[in-house]
Amino acid sequence: MKRSDLSEFSLEEEGLKITIKRGENGAPIVTNTRNSAAPFAPLADTPAPAPAPAAVATPPQAAVAVRPAAAPAAEEAGVTYIKSPMVGTFYRSSSPESGPLVEIGSTVAENTVVCIIEAMKIMNEIQAEAKGAIVEALVENGQAVEYGQRLFKLKAA
């Protein structure tokens, strides 16, 4: 959503509606509702979304608590991190036969593809979005990654 400059996305199919919005800090806000007219949506399922807003309300509080702890790492002189823009499986190369897209010490530009993240059977090329040299790979090949998880440590050029 960030790369495409989208602020909201909705999908509605067979009585199920999913909406994803960008929050204040760019974090996704997901809502999932069922159309009461849908024949397969029993009333027992409707209370399930109620805990979701509480769960959505909890992470921002946790994020506020985590930010002070993360600030010293971000203050490391000239160091930034390439973070995962999505949930998926991390791959360092574009195919099993080829070598890693970047190595430790590789110099990258904003548009340099540094890894692939597979999400829903789609291979997504992840760009560095910053200039610098790769200092450390923080994720193992084939490992599951979360939204915002640090993938590479980058020393600014």
Architecture of the domain whose range is 78-156 = Beta Barrel (2.40)
Tell me if 142 sits within 8 A of 90, measured CB to CB.
yes
| pTM higher than the cut 0.85 | no
Task: Write out pLDDT tens, residues 40-95.
Answer: 344 444 444 444 444 444 444 443 333 444 444 445 778 999 999 999 999 999 88
Residues 128-151, mean pLDDT to the nearest whole number: 93
Confidence of residue 28 (pLDDT cuts 50, 70, 90): low
- Mean pLDDT computed over 13-21: 76
Domain ranges of the chain: 8-73, 78-156
